[in-house]
A and B are shown apart, each in its own frame.
Chain A
Amino acid sequence: AQSVTQLGSHVSVSEGALVLLRCNYSSSVPPYLFWYVQYPNQGLQLLLKYTTGATLVKGINGFEAEFKKSETSFHLTKPSAHMSDAAEYFCAVSASLFNKFYFGSGTKLNVKP
């Protein structure tokens, strides 16, 4: 069975500060991991994904995430937050037939000026 836990339903940072959004997964098979971003009243947009190979994955808008198998984690980071990063972020795992995704409950990022 697969599941995803996102610690912190709300995270608030100052503009220019480090962004760290946490994601831990549970999977009985090697997982494929994704981060999506959702801006208000919009659909989900892919930020980045880990499938195989390099464990540090770079995505759009300056975000990156590191797959740590020993910690079953896939935390999302960005060195310097921008006001436009304010959105809700979802971590997802796909480790099943037919590309079924299991999503975390989401983390809302607030960026203060």
Chain B
Amino acid sequence: NAGVTQTPKFRVLKTGQSMTLLCAQDMNHEYMYWYRQDPGMGLRLIHYSVGEGTTAKGEVPDGYNVSRLKKQNFLLGLESAAPSQTSVYFCASSTPGLREGSSYNEQFFGPGTRLTVL
């Protein structure tokens, strides 16, 4: 049981390049999330998904797109990378609560992707 995995672990891009970060989970979780972590700012939610084929914007969605074509995978895309997107990106997953939409279950995190945009 690998939990939540992220690919790649590290990446360096030049301004304007594009890339896709892959998140995979093997826990059959309905909900998946993408965060960015910057020094002194904690984790901020970029986008999230509550099921296959659905996505929604989080706190800081600009410059990112996502897709959830399969329940176990959640992709984060940068179409035209900018230096402000230099960050560590974390994927997480969770189950719904006992009642649909309830909010008490922990999120399980991947190991992160360190992205540098030059």
Interface residues of A (CB under 8 A from B): 4, 6, 9, 32, 34, 36, 41-46, 49, 51-52, 90, 94-101, 103-106
Give the shortest distance, in Å, between A98 (CB) and chain B (any CB). Answer: 5
Main secondary structure of the interface of B (DSSP, over half): loop
Q: Which of B31, B40, B41, B111 contacts A99 (CB 8 A)?
A: B31
B48-A90 in contact (CB<8A): no
Given contacts A9-B40, A49-B106, A104-B42, A43 and B111 within 8 Å (CB-CB): yes
Instruction: Count how many chain B residues have C-beta atoms less than 8 Å from C-beta atoms of the other chain.
Output: 30
B50-A98 in contact (CB<8A): yes
B90-A98 in contact (CB<8A): no
Q: In chain B, residues 62-78, which have Cβ atoms closer than 8 Å to a Cβ of chain A?
A: none
Q: Which of B97, B106, B110 contacts A43 (CB 8 A)?
A: B110
Query: A95: nearest residue on chain B (CB-CB)?
Result: B103
Q: Which of B4, B101, B107, B110 contacts A101 (CB 8 A)?
A: B107
Residues from chain B with a CB closer than 8 A to the CB of A106 are: 40, 42
